[in-house]
């Protein structure tokens, strides 16, 4: 099989352009691997070339680079504008958002993107005003991404958050202790019943 000179991605075995779906061993294309390659068309631009069969994306390098720079809903990593960091959810917002003063910003590919912690945004929308930097939002059940308004408590000072967090921790510890004690009570009752069953009835009357 004669291979034409040029890039490996456009080799035409036997000087005949392959058809979509044709396969060939990588070594016959001048590759260092013996993996199978399939003649495929880029789904975006239509350019045809050899693509390793195990490769997940069928995009050509140019279109893949373009997609990596896509933002918003076009980006393959788009998940509704919500990202997670440190256990918290952050919501992407436009530059003209009503509560943009609360947003943090990050520079990506020369462009600024803005996001607000979801728990702070939920409380802000509930009370109808932006939160001050010193105001904190506490998750009552301790779950950082449970941002139901009923699970959020607005605190005016950081010390209030410390007190609330310590109180919540104490409640959890006491709940765990109650569960342990209830299990011990069940066990003791079971042992007592077994002892009663093993003692003769005449001894019990004494």
For residue 43, being part of any structural domain is answered with yes
Q: pTM for the whole thing? A: 0.46
Sort 147 into a burial class: Cβ within 10 Å, 0-12 / 13-18 / 19+.
Answer: buried
For residue 146, being part of any structural domain is answered with yes
Q: Output the CA torsion sign for 124, 128, 129, 135.
A: negative
Diameter over CA atoms, the chain: 108
- The fraction of the chain above a pLDDT of 90, given in percent, is 18
pLDDT for residue 190 is more than 70 = yes
Structural domain including 140 reads 81-156
**Pair (105, 49) in one structural domain:** no
**Pair (33, 50) in one structural domain:** yes
**Pair (149, 166) in one structural domain:** no
The whole-chain average pLDDT of the chain stands at 79
**Pair (152, 174) in one structural domain:** no
For residue 90, being part of any structural domain is answered with yes
**Pair (110, 45) in one structural domain:** no
- Count of domains for the chain: 3
Q: What are 94-117's pLDDT values in tens digits?
A: 889 999 999 998 876 677 889 999
Q: What are 38-66's pLDDT values in tens digits?
A: 999 998 888 888 888 888 888 888 787 76
Q: Which of 67, 89, 105 is the last residue of a domain?
A: 67
For residue 72, being part of any structural domain is answered with no
**Pair (118, 168) in one structural domain:** no
Ramachandran class of 176: left when φ > 0, alpha when ψ lies in -120 to 50, beta otherwise: alpha
pLDDT for residue 8 is more than 60 = no
């Amino acid at each position: 099989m004669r291979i034409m000179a040029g890039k490996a991605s456009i080799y035409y075995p036997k000087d005949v352009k392959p058809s979509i779906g044709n396969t060939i061993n990588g070594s016959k294309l001048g590759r260092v691997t013996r993996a199978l390659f399939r003649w495929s068309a880029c789904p975006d631009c239509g350019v045809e070339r050899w693509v390793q069969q195990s490769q997940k994306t069928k995009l050509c390098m140019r279109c893949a680079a373009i997609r990596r720079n896509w933002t918003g809903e076009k980006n393959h990593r788009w998940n509704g504008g919500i990202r997670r960091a440190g256990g918290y959810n952050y919501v992407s917002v436009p530059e003209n958002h009503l509560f943009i003063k609360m947003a943090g910003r990050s520079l990506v590919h020369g462009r600024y993107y803005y996001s607000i912690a979801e728990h702070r945004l939920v409380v802000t929308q509930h009370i109808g005003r932006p939160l001050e930097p010193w105001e904190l939002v506490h998750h009552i059940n301790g779950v950082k991404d449970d941002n139901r308004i009923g699970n959020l408590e607005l605190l005016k000072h950081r010390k209030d958050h410390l007190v609330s967090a310590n109180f919540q921790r104490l409640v959890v510890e006491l709940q765990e202790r109650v569960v342990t004690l209830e299990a011990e009570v069940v066990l003791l009752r079971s042992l007592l019943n077994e002892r009663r069953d093993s003692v003769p009835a005449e001894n019990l009357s004494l």
